[in-house]
Structure 1
Amino acid sequence: MNQQQNAALKSMKEWLAHPDELGKEPAKIELAGEFDLHELHYYIFKYKKSILGKWLLGVCGGYEPGETEHCGHVFSEMEPYEETTAKEKAIAMVEMIRSYWMEQAQKYEAGKMAKDHDSAEDKEENDSQAGSFLGFVLLSKPEWNLSQLKTDLKTDWDIDWNADENEAEDGEENADNTSFVICVGGMMAAVSLIEAPVPEEEAVANAANNYMWPGAVAAAKAHTAQILVAVLGNQAPVLERGKLLVKFIAACCKQETVLGVYTSGTVFQPQFYLDAAQMLTDGGLPVLNWIYFGLYQEGKTWNAYTYGMRMFGKEEMEVLQADAKPEELRNFLLDIVYYVLDGNVTLHAGETLGFSENQKLPITCSKSEVLEGSTLKIGFTANK
């Protein structure tokens, strides 16, 4: 490691050892990547609280060329490290810090957070293990109408960062109006205009997954900038974090330069995202905004899988070699996902699942056919 990398490693360890964070140095820590943002250099770290624990994600920077002193952007949400999403999540954390995330978090924690703490300890602990929520609104030009975005948030979702102390608190913008952060109900939402496309054509590659929108790849290829939306706040219930993300992204979808929404492993059509978000106004869960339902054919049978359940601390699911029409299979998996998220249900291998007294669908767990790691396999029975 060079001198700057060693300095970043030392700073990351010191930050994690603070009493308000891990309270000790991590049992293991490794440099996992690097990136440049806003003309500064950043380092991605993966670390473990204990030797047998999961890898977690951290970021440290930014550094001027040849310097060993960072500008204070050292942070970790202590969420699981995943190689495929580490860079985007690290960028999201940096943008949050740039938008005075730490200042706002301290202000909020000093006030209402202690009073609003959820007494349901088991559920809260499970929620806190879920990752942060983020999405990328793809733009044709590196520009946005911030005034319109504020109006759409207020009109469509009653979110106002010019509110009094009893409502959404203390929205702040940076000097060049490229980012802002707002505190809403125990959560922090950060929205940043990034004048560059999603790195390494990641959005283009994942757009090909969207079988519902033939124009997804073309839209992803055409984007030259993005609006990054991130929601943090482990004290808030995980579903509320997810709902807030959908509200902010839906408001961004009304920008004149919007091309698509990159989230949950694919690129969604803006109008589809807006339509799906209407579930919130009807008191339902916006499952189609949160979860991508993949479908692919093998011979005469169809397979389906979810992408996005891990954001909620749940296992991804697959249905394999089903003798069914693709829309029937997708709706079958959609019903299960809604049941799991709405009721905070945890499915286990060896159990059965049913939507009637006599229906008993077997649940197993094994290595995924299409995703990293293991998934729950749900037995499929066609409706007669």
Structure 2
Amino acid sequence: MSGAGERWLAAAYRGAAWLRLLRPLEALYRRGVARRTAAYASGRRAVWRAPVPVIVVGNLTLGGTGKSPLVAWLVRFLEERGRRPGILSRGYGGRGERYPLRVTARTPVAACGDEPRMLADQTGVPVVVDPDRPRGARRLLEEGCDILVADDGLQHLALARDLELVVVDGARGFGNGRCLPAGPLREPLTRLGSVDAVLVNGEAAFEVPPGAFTMRLVPSAWRRLGDGERRPLDPPPFAGAVHAVAGIGRPARFFETLAGLGVEAIPHSFGDHHAYRAEELDFGDARPLVMTAKDAVKCRGLAPDASWVLEVTAEPGSAFVAWLEARLAEPGAARGDDNDTTLRVGQTPARHQERGA
């Protein structure tokens, strides 16, 4: 996102008064979203259903919420239960020569995007990038996957889904509650009534939707960028102040995490999905450099030798884990076929009771 885009997004989350001027455009946007949703629900636009379950992890807002760490957690959760998951992504920021693109150790980040590259490294499961979600899903089936996890696929309705999980940033919430371009919402807040679960990442500074679950991102280790050597969080593998770079949806979250670990950091914010150049990582001194895992996949070969990556993992609350176990155990959940009772595009699932932290 450009500098102007970042400034607009900040204004949308704080509810700047000048955004009221954009409400006529918001009304047009909302009508477009409603027409598109109705077209898929009525069959005027084709919806492809995979022969295996599909779990979508997405958000309603622009900007980072922590959904990719939840995808990585979900994949590990499924593997521990004997499933063969695969990850499907749009690959924002990447430009592949052809699709579907199977992400391998030799796939350039410029082709696949930073988040698919990060998820492939972290999970080791098949990751496929394709703007055409059904086509990408079929490629994952060829890899032998028996359950698919779509990263940031909430608005991609051409692929039918069996579970929809929405992640919300606890600090920013839904901003001013308006849709694009008058606010940060991709869809109206009423969309929350048709998803299966809402997870709030971190302590909530807004009115939490009824029944929402909790999650948090927990630092787990330091990893040296050059050779991958891992070190424990305490003591850190460096002394004194460090330069900290973050090109994620909300860089402040990374800097706050470092402060919580007792690391004195000189912050350097970049736009989400920023494509780094070597000179941007040279701050003219010998201080170590620390970064997020998402930034790390783009900084290999560019960053100085004394560069470290802070690894974080998602930790959903116990109530969500129990809920997910129950949903996966429901009749039809293992098949993803047309005889099950799971979510269909345009339908509202039964509300789930007893949600909590």
Same fold (TM over 0.5): no
Which of the pair has more CA radius of gyration? 1
Q: Which is bigger in relative contact order (C-alpha 8 A, separation at least 6)?
A: 2
Q: Which of the two has greater strand per residue?
A: 1
- In the superposition, the TM-score normalised over structure 1's length comes to 0.25
- In the superposition, the TM-score normalised over structure 2's length comes to 0.26
